[in-house]
Amino acid sequence: MEYTALTPDDLDNVRALNAAWLKSGLAGAGRLSSRAIGRLAATPFLLFTLHEDDDERWQRLLDRPPQRDLLQDSGSAPGERRSLQAAALAFLWELARRNPYAARLVSQASTRWCLLVTPVTLMRLLACAADCDLIAARFSPDSAVFRRLLSRGGSGLHDVREAAQLSALQTLLTVRHPGRDEQPRAAACRARSPVREVVDEV
C-alpha cells in the first residue's frame, strides 16, 4: 500500500486552523506576538484535538440520532469555538477519506476513527457532533512538550522553531498512546515522500 505525504494545501489548512485556535485565546498563547502566533501556527499538526483518538466516544456520537437543526444554538460551545470545530471536523473528514495516513499525522486520528467517519456524509457527521464541545488542547498546558512548543515553536530562529515543532510531532506520534495504531507509524518508514520534506516548505 502506498502512503503519500501531506500536500502543501493540507499544511495550509492546518496552519489556518491552528491560527484560529491560537487567536481564540483558548490555547494559552495570549502573550505571543502576532508574528509568533503565525510561526507557531505553522506547526505541521493541529494544536488542538477533537478527540480523534477516542474511538469509543465517536462510536457513541455516530450511533445516536443527529441533532435535528445543525444551526440550532445548543449552548454547548460558543459560536467561534463551534465554527472552528466544524471547520476542523470537515477538514479531517475530507483528509481521512483521501489520505488516512496524513490524517494520522496531523491529528493523531486512529485508523478506526477514519473508518468510522468516512462512510457517513459530511452533513451527518457535523450534525452528530453539533451539540458537543469536542475541542481541547492537544497537549496538557503544564506538560514539558507544550511549554517547549509555546516558548520555542514560534521563535524567529528557523532551527529553534523547527526543532520544537518536530519534537512535538514526534511526541504526538510515539509517546502519548504507545502501542496504538501501529500501522500508520510503521508506514512512515515506507512513505515515498518523507514528511520532513513537506515540513521544510512551511
pTM assigned to the model: 0.79
Q: Which residues of 184-196 are buried (b: 16+ CB within 10 A; e: fewer)?
A: bbebeeebeeebe
Please state the length of the chain.
Answer: 202
The predicted-structure confidence for 26-78, as pLDDT tens digits, reads as follows: 666 667 888 989 999 999 999 999 999 899 999 999 998 765 554 454 444 56
**150: pLDDT strictly greater than 70:** yes
- Write out pLDDT tens, residues 71-104: 454 444 568 888 999 999 999 999 999 999 999 8
**How do strand 136-137 and strand 48-49 relate by DSSP bridges?**
antiparallel
pLDDT digits (tens, 9 = 90+) for 166-182: 999 888 888 645 334 44
Whole-angstrom distance, CA of residue 194 vs CA of residue 41: 21
More confident residue, 74 or 4: 4
Give pLDDT, residue 185: 46
